Each structure stands twice: as structure tokens, then as C-alpha cells.
Amino acid sequence: MTQTWFITGSSRGFGRNLTVAALEAGDRVVATARKPEQLDDLVEKYGDDVLPVALDVTDRAAATTALQAGVDRFGTIDVVVNNAGYANLSPVETTPEDDFRRQFDTNFWGVYNVSTAALPFLKAQGAGTVVQFSSVGGRVGGNPGLGSYQAAKFAVDGFTRVLAAETAPFGIRYLVVEPGGFATDWAGSSMQIPEVAPEYDETVGALIRLFDGPVVAAGDPKRAGEILVRLVKQPNLPSHLLLGVIAVEMAQSYSRDQIAQAATWETVSRSADFDQDYPVDLIDTEA
């Protein structure tokens, strides 16, 4: 069945590879980007099956306009993909507030804007799939220097869980994608890395030096795009999909640690309820 995709950030990285994968599968794509002329080669190759649209995801009205353009051209929007995003790398304490907010505006509010703008179209159809690009960092967190980016990804996850519960009667499906390290330009030209204060050299500085070196990105974005196109065409979706060995191993380790910690502190946690024994001994984790 031919589907129509609406993909943000289609000019490079995951968005570009997903756009190509969908077109190669015989689907149609509303490919959005800040500079849609960067998609001219796709128009030349795939013709009327791709509609380039200018979109800044921080502008909700523009998101509605872009979605309407897709419906006017193709008649429907079957899959909405929130992929657009970026990160700058600096300590939370010293990141200028306007920079922290700008990152959050794109990485969370951009997802909010496109998702909520899409809901009237998807509800009217009685069907549709929303794919939210997060990160394994949006599950496990804790990477020094990525405070705004990872906070936004955690927010995207919580936001999407609520949307899934609220819109369940409308036939709308949701998938949160959590990649690990992939061979994209995520840590490339769009990432700003200011000088780091000496007291953060051991933490944030270490990550910066990692990015400055020959980083080996194990993930193939072309494969990722093909996997997602195949998956979305299936009748049942997982709520979350980890992509890449690094993501799987990090997530499994994090989940095991969470379960172990909950079990260790279970008696203390339970004692907060009226009908439970109280007080109870606190746990000596160094014993």
C-alpha cells in the first residue's frame, strides 16, 4: 500500500535517508527542510512523488501550512516523522540561557508543534502513524555537555506517551525511535562547542575530545531508514525502537540497574504509604 510521509529535517542525516527509503519503497514524501532547495536532487530523481516544503519546526502555523500542502498534493498524510533536531555541547551551568532554550525549542517544541498540527488531519482520516526521533540518550541520559538536548528527548518521550493514551480511540499509532551512534552529521557542522571551563574538563571536556577524535559511528543511517519504512508498514508497532548495538546494550544495562535499585530500596519506598510499616531501616548501600 502506497503511503504518504511527512518528514521534518529531510535535507540530511536520518531525515534524508528515511526520505530516500520511503521513495524507493514506492511511497510519496512531503520532505521539509529549512532550505528546501537542498532537496532538488530528490525532485529530479523521484519527480512528483516528493514535495519539498520549507519549514522551521519552531513555527506552529508553518507546520500546519506544510501539512495542508501535503494533503492538497497527495490527498492524505499517513506517516508524520519528527526528525529535525540538533545539539550544542557545553556544561549546563555555563550554557547561555538563550542557547539552551533555542535547542529545546527545536528538539521539543518543534516536535510538539508538528505533532499537534498533524492531529486534526490524522483524526479526520481515522488513522496515521507518528514517528518521533529521540535518542538512546533520551532513555538513559547522563552524557556531560548535552543537557538541553537530552532533557528535550526525555520530554519527547513523556509527551508521546501521553499523546498515545489520549488519541488511542482515533486510530493513531506512535513510535519513539532511539538511535545510538550513527554515521550522520549530528556532531558535525551544526554542533557548536564553546571553550569549556577548566572545572568541567574531566566531564564535558572528555566528551568534546571524543568528538574531536576519529569517532567510529557503527550505525548505518541507510539501513535505519529502510528498517523504519518496513516497520511502519506492519500492523503492529513497538512503542519504542532502539537502533544499533550501542543503543541496545546501553538500554538493557540501564534497565537492569533500574530494576536492581528499585528492589534494593523497595521496603523504604513502600513505607511511605499509610498502611505500611514505618519507620523502616534505611539501606546501607556500602555494606
pLDDT(50) > 70: yes
Phi-psi group of 245: left, alpha or beta (phi > 0 → left; psi -120 to 50 → alpha; rest → beta): alpha
Catalytic residue among 90, 135, 148, 153: 153
> What's the average model confidence in pLDDT over 46-61?
97
Contact 118, 99 (CB under 8 A): no
Is 253 labeled as catalytic in the residue annotation? no
pLDDT(238) > 60: yes
Edge to edge, the sheet with strand 79-82 lists 50-54, 28-33, 4-7, 79-82, 128-133, 172-179, 240-243
pLDDT(140) > 80: yes
* Residue % of the chain over a pLDDT of 90: 85
- Separation of alpha carbons 88 and 146, rounded Å: 7
pTM to 2 decimal places: 0.94
Locate 34 and state its grid cell. Answer: 529549512
**CATH fourth-level superfamily of 4-243:** NAD(P)-binding Rossmann-like Domain (3.40.50.720)
Phi, psi (deg, nearest 5) at residue 215: -65, 130
Task: Report the amino acid identity of residue 176.
Answer: V
Which parts of 56-156 are beta strand (E)?
79-82, 128-133
Contact 103, 152 (CB under 8 A): yes
pLDDT(155) > 90: yes
> What's the average model confidence in pLDDT over 145-166?
97
For residues 210 and 216, the model is more confident at 210
Q: Which of 36-45, 97-106, 175-184, 262-271 has the lowest mean pLDDT?
A: 175-184
* Other CB atoms within 10 Å distance of the CB of residue 61: 9
> What's the average model confidence in pLDDT over 199-218?
79
Query: According to the model, what pLDDT value does residue 217 have?
Result: 67
Is 11 labeled as catalytic in the residue annotation? no
Q: How is residue 107 annotated by DSSP?
A: I
Cis ω on the peptide bond leading into residue 279 (within 30° of 0)? yes
For residues 219 and 92, the model is more confident at 92
Task: Report the amino acid identity of residue 60.
Answer: R
- Maximum pairwise Cα distance, the chain: 71
Half-sphere exposure of 164 (CA within 13 A, CB side): 18
Read off the pLDDT of residues 93-113 as tens digits, 9 standing for 90 and up: 999 999 999 999 999 999 999
pLDDT(62) > 80: yes
Contact 86, 137 (CB under 8 A): no
Between strands 79-82 and 4-7, the pairing is parallel
- Separation of alpha carbons 258 and 183, rounded Å: 30
Catalytic residue among 90, 134, 135, 148: 134
Handedness of CA 243, 4, 186, 86 (dihedral sign): negative
> What's the average model confidence in pLDDT over 141-145?
92
Read off the pLDDT of residues 157-206 as tens digits, 9 standing for 90 and up: 999 999 999 999 999 999 999 998 876 665 556 688 888 999 999 999 98
Query: According to the model, what pLDDT value does residue 287 have?
Result: 54
Catalytic residue among 90, 112, 148, 149: 149
Contact 148, 129 (CB under 8 A): no
Q: What is the mean pLDDT of the chain?
A: 93
Is 269 labeled as catalytic in the residue annotation? no
Query: According to the model, what pLDDT value does residue 214 have?
Result: 52
